[in-house]
Amino acid sequence: MKVKFKAIYLFFGLIILFNCAKMNEPISVGGSLNIEHRFEVSGYARDISVTDSYLYIAEDQAGYTIYDLNTNKMISHHESFIMETDPIMFENVRAISVFEDENLLFVYDQYGSPASVFGFDMTDKTNPTYLFYNSGNTGSIVQLESDVSLGGGVDLYWTSGVFFNFSSSDNSWVGSNAFAFQNSVKGFDIDASNIYLAAEQLGFHIVNKSNGDIISTTDTDGEALNIKIVDHYMVVALRQAGFAVYDISSASNPNFVCQKETNEYIYTIDIENENMVLGSHSGGVYLYEISDITNPVLVGNLNSDKIGYTYKAVLHNNKIYASTRQGVYEIGID
């Protein structure tokens, strides 16, 4: 009889356990993700920039590295460079962005003297040539991006502290401007008219791109850290609260669509076609299928036990590139 009662107690205990679990909180699953290659690094891979043929890695105290994606071979590794006649050692390379059409590479050294964004001509990728540096509003850059400029050359965007910064450059630094906000801003995305800014505990701002005026501010469940735009929808990384989707057809009145929780904190988002990847430090990467952006579906997860503590995840040509403390992982999507 005692054995029978123990079995009954165990049965009801399991029912209670499963009923208490969050059904919207995904379990850790490999799903359709397969590690295809690991690019070795000397430091921590804090940031990456990926093109069709090359991988650029910001390696924190170890400088930066360029890999050939066709051969998976290292092209060059740089812990220092020559500025005028003095060798400059990188201290902590925390962000990197490349614009290959103009052969321009931007490298952010957070603890340099002073903290600066350095521009390089990378026509010769084995030995990029130093061009210029900028140290305005560069004390603590969160996100650094480059894009084609309508006036020629390249536009550069970055957030640091309470500032959203923007500049143009070709082979020289043209100068920069900034929009200032009351509180610090983190990750961002841009379209033709607006800037979309994650603002931590304040939620997110939608900002007029031409004058920096805030069109709307929307509170969120968790701390808003990163943003990606898909058509007239916006996905927001909410750190401890997973991520949320908003309809931004009206910039002055964004509408909440849905929110998904995850096992671990979410820090970065990237989207390509019908795939969305989330970067989570100890949670590794989460892959969602977003053919219906109003209902993202989890299809795979590789946690830090498999790929290491993850700083950022990027989608390119139907592959995930995860920058971690163990290197950069190329992950195939079946």
Identify the structural domains of the chain with CATH numbers, from first to last.
Answer: 48-180 (2.130.10.10)
pLDDT in tens, 50-82: 999 999 999 999 999 999 999 999 999 999 998
Inform me whether the pLDDT recorded for 120 exceeds 80: yes
CA dihedral 305, 307, 312, 313 (to 10 degrees): -120
- The secondary structure of 235-252 as a DSSP string is EEE-BTT-EEEEE-SSTT
Place of tokens 């995860």: 322
pLDDT at 12 exceeding the cut of 60: no
Provide the whole-model pTM.
0.90
* Residue 243 scores a pLDDT above 80: yes
- The two tokens of residue 62 are 């170890």
pLDDT reported for residue 4: 45
The region of weakest confidence among 17-31, 163-177, 233-247 is: 17-31
Around 153, how many Cα atoms within 13 Å sit in the side-chain half-sphere?
14
CA distance 47 to 67: 14
Segment 224-243 mean pLDDT? 97
Looking at residue 25, what is its pLDDT?
Answer: 45
CA atoms within 13 A of residue 288's CA, in its CB half-sphere: 24
pLDDT tier for residue 319 given thresholds of 50, 70 and 90: very high
Non-local (6+) Cβ contacts of 239 within 8 A are 222, 223, 224, 225, 265, 266, 267
pLDDT at 9: 43
What is the band of 30 on the pLDDT scale with cuts at 50, 70, 90? low
Cis peptide before 114 (omega within 30 of 0): yes
pLDDT in tens, 168-209: 888 888 888 999 999 999 999 999 999 999 999 999 999 999
Looking at residues 314-327, what average pLDDT do you find?
Answer: 98
How confident is the model over 132-155, as pLDDT tens digits? 999 999 999 999 999 988 777 899
Residue with the two structure tokens 């910039």: 251
The mean of the pLDDT values for the chain is 91
Q: Which two tokens stand for residue 289?
A: 């299928």
Cross-strand bridge partners of residue 272 = 275
Express as a percent the part of the chain with pLDDT over 70: 91
